[in-house]
Amino acid sequence: MLLYYDYGTVQDCNSYFIFLGGADFSIPSSILKRQHALFNNAQTCLGISGFSLSNSQVGILGNMICTLDSSYIQNSDPLIIEKLKNCGDLTASQVTGIQTLLFSGNTPYGKSSTWNLQTLEQLDPLPLYLNQDFWARFTSTVKKTFLQSFIPALRTKKTPVTKLQNLFTACNSNLRSRRAAGCTTDEITEAIITDPSFPHFYDSTQFDLCLNVTTLTSNLAAITQKVVDLGMERVILNKLNQAYPSGLGDSVLQLLGSTSRVADVSEIYTWNITSIDTLSSLMNPTNGAWTSEQVDAIIMVYLSVAGQTLGSAELNAIGSNICSLSVSVLNNITADNLKNANHVNLLSCSMDQKIVLYNIANISFSDMQINSTEYYMLIAPFLGGAPVADIQELSTQNINMDISTFLSLNSAVVMV
């Protein structure tokens, strides 16, 4: 509530910002530029000038620290590092500021030459974001010990694949590629795979040389759950293509996870996607993003199986990837199937796609038009493709259009 409180009515600004410091600053709409206004008020109230924040100022600002860039972070009291641990995410600028402050040696963590396992444990969760310059300060033994508990904790929190990939790259950046004729690291066995730090400390070349096809196919789920490096994922697909020359089937595809994203379009067309479970698994957004071409290929392969259609279950599986489908494919969606499917964000759809989906949705919810409020709630996600006449009709109803729906409208319609 305090995030949107009328600051002009605040009598004790110091107390206001003390309480505001516990808020979630990811909530304010970027459209309203609320965060900038709040910090401007805080500067005036707390006497903040320049980019240096005192211990007291950092303590009062609390979670508002999560909105500041490196200019403030690297020049402020070291308490700012502790406050940044509470942020839901960190920008590249903020990471630069954190590392600059840490490398200065003027924090409770001391000089980098003294850093050890305890340092990594005390910095949690920040090591997820820090780059290779930070990780280069630790020995392989220290990193491996830390990662054995850190990686499982990150997976439990459902950390996005992209962040895990960045962590892997930062940790492994000092590895020299070993282009030996054979495996010079440990042969990858089931015991190696179960180590929580696996596959850290392998580069993609050694990963390829040390992993045989039999071990891969016998431990596919365990391996793909842990491997996030793009080079290693390419190795996995190459070996699977050797094991299944006629194309990967449902049982294999459902276990690929983020590895599926490195497949090229021609490769996808060799897959055998025959079940909705496989389609749902492949479309799972937690495993990373697909390109439009990849999504189109996956759907085409799925629809090539006799009897497969874009039913409600398929639409739910595809989610926002629906914007990757061609207009001709979208035209095959029936009104009933769209009506019974979950609504998704269509902002990335082209105008032609939005028009097709709106026309289908308008039929889907036509029986709800007698209740303008209920009809609006159902049709709102599709209004980006609505013609002028339909928007004008809605404007005569007792409806309050939210800002995100308004921004999704065709600009030509808005200007009429």
One DSSP character per residue, 259-272 reads: GGGG--HHHHTT--
Residue 70 maps to a domain: yes
Structural domains counted in the chain? 3
Residue of higher predicted confidence among 244 and 39 = 244
Residue 237 maps to a domain: no
Residue 380 maps to a domain: yes
Asked if residue 383 lies in contact with residue 408, where contact means CB atoms within 8 angstroms, the answer is yes
- The tokens of 340 are what? 């019974």
295/342 same-domain check = no
267/339 same-domain check = no
Asked if residue 62 lies in contact with residue 21, where contact means CB atoms within 8 angstroms, the answer is yes
Residue 387 has pLDDT above 70, yes or no: yes
Question: What is the pLDDT averaged over residues 84-110?
Answer: 95
339/372 same-domain check = yes
- Among the candidates 89, 106, 132, a domain finishes at 89
Asked if residue 361 lies in contact with residue 382, where contact means CB atoms within 8 angstroms, the answer is yes
Instruction: Give the number of C-alpha atoms closer than 13 A to the C-alpha of residue 108, restricted to the C-beta side.
Output: 11
Give the CA distances from residue 176 to residues 204, 212, 396, in Å, rounded to whole numbers and listed in that order.
11, 22, 68
Instruction: Please work out, in degrees rounded to the nearest 5, the angle formed at the alpha carbon of residue 223 by the alpha carbons of 186 and 172.
Output: 60
Asked if residue 227 lies in contact with residue 256, where contact means CB atoms within 8 angstroms, the answer is no
Instruction: Please work out, in degrees rounded to the nearest 5, the angle formed at the alpha carbon of residue 200 by the alpha carbons of 199 and 202.
Output: 75
Asked if residue 235 lies in contact with residue 204, where contact means CB atoms within 8 angstroms, the answer is yes
Range(s) of the domain holding residue 274: 244-308
Residue 6 has pLDDT above 80, yes or no: no
Asked if residue 175 lies in contact with residue 231, where contact means CB atoms within 8 angstroms, the answer is no
Residue of higher predicted confidence among 182 and 334 = 334
77/2 same-domain check = yes
- Among the candidates 89, 119, 145, a domain finishes at 89
303-328 pLDDT per residue, tens: 999 889 999 999 999 998 999 999 99
The burial class, CB within 10 Å (0-12 / 13-18 / 19+), for 283 is: buried
Asked if residue 408 lies in contact with residue 346, where contact means CB atoms within 8 angstroms, the answer is yes
251/301 same-domain check = yes
Question: If pLDDT is split at 50, 70 and 90, which confidence band does 32 have?
Answer: very low
Backbone angles phi, psi at 410, to 5 degrees: -60, 125
Residue 244 has pLDDT above 90, yes or no: yes
69/22 same-domain check = yes
Residue 177 maps to a domain: no
Question: What is the pLDDT averaged over residues 265-288?
Answer: 95
Instruction: Give the number of C-alpha atoms closer than 13 A to the C-alpha of residue 405, restricted to the C-beta side.
Output: 15
Question: If pLDDT is split at 50, 70 and 90, which confidence band does 153 have?
Answer: very high
What is the pLDDT of the chain when averaged over all its residues?
A: 90
Global pTM value: 0.81
- Among the candidates 48, 63, 89, a domain finishes at 89
Question: What is the pLDDT averaged over residues 354-379?
Answer: 87
Question: DSSP assignment of 349-391, as one string?
Answer: S-HHHHHHHHHHHHHHTGGGTTSHHHHHHHHGGGGGG--HHHH
Question: What is the pLDDT averaged over residues 328-356?
Answer: 92
Distance CA 313, CA 252 (A): 21
pLDDT of residue 31: 44
Q: Cis check for the bond before 127: say yes or no (omega within 30 of 0).
A: no
Distance CA 402, CA 131 (A): 40
Looking at the chain, the whole-number percentage of residues with pLDDT higher than 90 is: 69
58-88 pLDDT per residue, tens: 999 999 999 999 999 999 999 999 999 999 8
Residue 153 maps to a domain: no
Distance CA 182, CA 179 (A): 8
6/63 same-domain check = yes
Instruction: Give the number of C-alpha atoms closer than 13 A to the C-alpha of residue 106, restricted to the C-beta side.
Output: 10
Question: If pLDDT is split at 50, 70 and 90, which confidence band does 24 have?
Answer: confident
18/85 same-domain check = yes
Instruction: Please work out, in degrees rounded to the nearest 5, the angle formed at the alpha carbon of residue 245 by the alpha carbons of 242 and 248.
Output: 95
304/346 same-domain check = no
How many of the other CB atoms lie within 10 Å of CB of 174? 12
Residue of higher predicted confidence among 412 and 238 = 238
Q: Which of 138-152, 244-258, 382-396 has the lowest mean pLDDT?
A: 382-396
Distance CA 252, CA 247 (A): 10
71/14 same-domain check = yes
273/355 same-domain check = no
Distance CA 353, CA 325 (A): 8
Question: What is the pLDDT averaged over residues 41-63?
Answer: 93
Start-end of H helices in 263-326: 265-268, 276-282, 292-303, 312-318
Distance CA 102, CA 133 (A): 11
Q: Which residues contact 8 (CB under 8 A, 6 or more apart)?
A: none
pLDDT of residue 165: 92
Residue 188 has pLDDT above 60, yes or no: yes
1/85 same-domain check = yes
Residue 143 maps to a domain: no
Residue 117 corresponds to which amino acid? L
Residue 346 maps to a domain: yes
Residue 192 maps to a domain: no
